[in-house]
């Protein structure tokens, strides 16, 4: 599985290893995963680590080839690597937007392409893509992230249709905000800035303040746990009839319910009342 250095990936890898499954946890920096090995040894299947950069095709091919040489065809793939690129769209450099899609969309596709030949040959397999409820609607200040998750959700649905006859099932995991380093990463991105158009200086500060409140009062903002996401991933991997979509946590279910219930303009007004929006100076 990808993106195991922190948060959801770490929780999933530990849970599966303790459940007796052979787990290969990957990240760009293997040194971030060393302590996972001892945790995984408590399970019958064991846990090993490997370096994998989902934006590097050579890295992906080499990692999958190494795993297949040790364990045979990959039976279950969990695509978890991802991050958020917050900020007003006009102020985001295109190279950073491209990287957002390389990690959040093209990375999962690249890894899936690498493992699918083995799955097809075996006549079975599971692919679980960790997306977000952010892939079902859009909020101010998160345009690139929302767009990437919309794309990943769509990609997952299509991949599920195209591989089902080969015995491969594809599931998408859709939590809301999760108590991980995710919010800290978003704050770091905001602090370093994009192109820094002066018109958005005040808005960036409001976004930083908002994310800071979410970090300091997670329960108030419905921030869920990585363990809840790990349970959903395990179900998608082990259930005889895995669902194509797993909405995880009360905040995710509430937001999707409101999005489905409210007329578009009402939902947009609610989003702009809860989340900071850019405004002309003086307002």
Report d(CA 118, CA 228) in Å as an integer: 30
247 in Cβ contact with 153 (< 8 Å): no
Active-site entry in 21, 145, 200, 211: 145
| CA dihedral angle for residue 96, residue 97, residue 101, residue 107, rounded to 10 degrees | -10
Cβ atoms within 10 Å of 10's Cβ, excluding its own: 24
Q: Does 203 qualify as catalytic in the annotation?
A: no
| CA dihedral angle for residue 132, residue 136, residue 137, residue 142, rounded to 10 degrees | 30
Contacts of 5-9 with CB under 8 Å at 24 or more apart are: 5/29, 5/32, 5/33, 6/32, 6/180, 6/181, 7/178, 7/180, 7/181, 7/182, 7/226, 8/80, 8/130, 8/175, 8/178, 8/180, 8/226, 8/229, 8/230, 9/78, 9/80, 9/81
Q: Point out the residues that are catalytic.
A: 145
């Amino acid at each position: 599985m990808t993106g195991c250095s922190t948060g959801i990936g770490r929780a999933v890898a530990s849970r599966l290893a303790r459940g007796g499954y052979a787990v290969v946890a990957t990240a760009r920096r293997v040194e971030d995963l060393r302590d996972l090995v001892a945790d995984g040894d408590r399970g019958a299947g064991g846990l090993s680590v490997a370096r994998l950069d989902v934006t590097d095709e050579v890295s992906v091919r080499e990692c999958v080839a190494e795993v297949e040489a040790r364990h045979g065809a990959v039976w279950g793939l969990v695509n978890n690597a991802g991050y958020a690129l917050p900020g007003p769209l006009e102020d985001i450099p295109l190279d950073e937007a491209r990287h957002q899609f390389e990690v959040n969309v093209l990375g999962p596709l690249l890894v899936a392409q690498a493992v699918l030949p083995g799955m097809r040959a075996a006549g079975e397999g599971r692919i679980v893509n960790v997306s977000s409820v952010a892939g079902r609607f859009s909020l101010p200040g998160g345009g690139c992230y929302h767009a990437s998750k919309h794309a990943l959700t769509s990609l997952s649905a299509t991949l599920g249709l195209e591989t089902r006859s080969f015995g491969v099932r594809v599931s998408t995991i859709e939590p809301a905000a999760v108590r991980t380093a995710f919010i800290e990463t978003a704050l770091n991105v905001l602090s370093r800035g994009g192109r820094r158009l002066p018109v958005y200086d005040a808005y960036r500060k409001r976004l930083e303040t908002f994310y800071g409140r979410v970090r300091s009062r997670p329960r108030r903002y419905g921030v869920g746990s990585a363990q809840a996401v790990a349970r959903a991933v395990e179900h998608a991997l082990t259930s005889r009839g895995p669902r194509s979509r797993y909405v995880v946590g009360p905040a995710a279910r509430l937001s999707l319910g409101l999005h489905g219930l409210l007329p578009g303009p009402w939902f947009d007004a609610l989003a702009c009342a809860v989340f900071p929006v850019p405004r002309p100076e003086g307002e």
